[in-house]
Homo-oligomer: A and B are copies of this chain.
Amino acid sequence: MRKVDSADLDQLTLGATLLGTGGGGDPFIAKLMVEQAIQDFGAIDVATLDELDEDDLVATVAVLGAPTVIVEKIPSGPEFTNAVRALAAYLGKEIKAIMPVEVGGMNTLIPLAVATELGVPCVDADGMRRAFPQIEMTAFTLAGLSASPMSLADEKGNKVTFETTSNQVGEKLVRGSAMMLGLANAVSLYPMTVRQAKDAAVWGSMQYCSDLGRLLRAVQHQEDGAWDQLLEFTEGVVAFEGKIIDLDRRTTTGFARGTVTIEDFVDPGRTMRIEIQNELLLAIADGRAVVTPPDLICMLDHETSEPITTETLAYGQRVRVLALPCAPEFKRGNWLDVVGPKAFGYDVDYVSLEG
């Protein structure tokens, strides 16, 4: 096990912003929560799956809601431990470790704060190694694991525990309750043994996120060869570079949806259109799908290489679009039904970044 201290959070937060692919909430708010938790409860134990007892019970914890609401109504803390405790009580078992459900966005960092407050380690693994808008869109689902029993809690003391016949029904139910409770709630879900996690989870995603943050910081500091190192580490490609010439955003059916169009710096005849549903999900260049979910679309400011979230998109911004291949753990079972373009209602086929 290694200790995570405040000094480690900068890289992790930057990496989490990139893996948030424009969504996933603002990791900076979550970073403040973790710093407070470290101050109150001490440095956080982060364990690999190998370091835990195979029979131990692990559960994920996350904030659930609309990023726009979460920014205004910062999660205060007790609802997260309440959600985990409600789930443990429902199961009648002790939860021995906390795991992120997504490493990407603010849900990368929140589990660290919750783990130290509960006095258990945080597992260096997750279910996505990116952010996705719905709870069933995980490598866990694809490995046949149930998201439920799962518990939702708000800051006032309301608690709801779900036991559902599918993770899709679970998503509908938990989101319905979250809408009633203000759309910025804590959820603890996917209880599983370490043995199950070993098969189902994306291993080492916290370390991956931290490494990614370190490499991106080097890019921002214009260190020699940093770009190449970032692309090599992620096996990513620069998919487009240009200026935002059109932006359409709307909030419908509980999601922030929109479309952003980018024009090539050199050739104004070349454009890329990116479809948004909380995250940047689908990139169409010159009428052809070029980056499709579950692969990642990351947008950076062209000058500063700061990741751009969908909330801060603006007309005239000069951007660089990175395409990163998804965690290989996604590519099993009926993965295209769960995390492919059609799962988001896009009538296009998955396009591999490998060509």
User: A: which residues have CB within 8 A of B?
Assistant: 86, 90, 156-165, 169, 172-173, 176-177, 179-181
Contact = CB atoms under 8 A, between A and B. Distances in A.
A196 to B, nearest CB: 21
Contacts of A164: 158-159
A58 to B, nearest CB: 22
Contact of A160 (B157, B158, B162, B179): B162
A164 B158 CA distance: 4
B157 A165 contact: yes
Number of this chain's copies in the assembly equals 2
A176 B86 CA distance: 20
B161 A169 contact: no
Contacts of A180: 169, 172-173, 176
A161 to B, nearest CB: 5
Contacts of A159: 162-164
B163 A169 contact: no
Main secondary structure of the interface of A (DSSP, over half): mixed
Contacts of A172: 180
Contacts of A176: 176-177, 179-180
27 contacts: A86-B163, A90-B90, A90-B161, A157-B165, A158-B162, A158-B163, A158-B164, A158-B165, A158-B169, A158-B173, A159-B162, A159-B164, A160-B161, A160-B162, A160-B163, A160-B173, A160-B177, A161-B161, A169-B180, A172-B180, A173-B177, A173-B180, A173-B181, A176-B176, A176-B177, A176-B180, A177-B177
B156 A165 contact: yes
A169 B180 CA distance: 8
A180 B176 CA distance: 7
A165 B158 CA distance: 6
Contacts of A156: 165
Contacts of A181: 173
A157 B170 CA distance: 12
Nearest to A175: B180
Nearest to A181: B173
Contacts of A158: 162-165, 169, 173
Nearest to A172: B180
A173 B152 CA distance: 12
A157 B165 CA distance: 6
A219 to B, nearest CB: 44
Contacts of A160: 160-163, 173, 177
Given A169-B180, A176-B180, 8 more contacts: A90-B90, A90-B161, A156-B165, A158-B165, A158-B173, A160-B160, A160-B162, A176-B176
Q: Closest 5 CB pairs between A and B? A: A159-B163, A176-B176, A161-B161, A176-B180, A157-B165
Nearest to A82: B163
Nearest to A179: B176
A275 B162 CA distance: 37
Contacts of A90: 90, 161
A157 B148 CA distance: 12
A303 to B, nearest CB: 46
Contacts of A165: 156-158
A163 to B, nearest CB: 4
Nearest to A164: B158
A156 B177 CA distance: 19
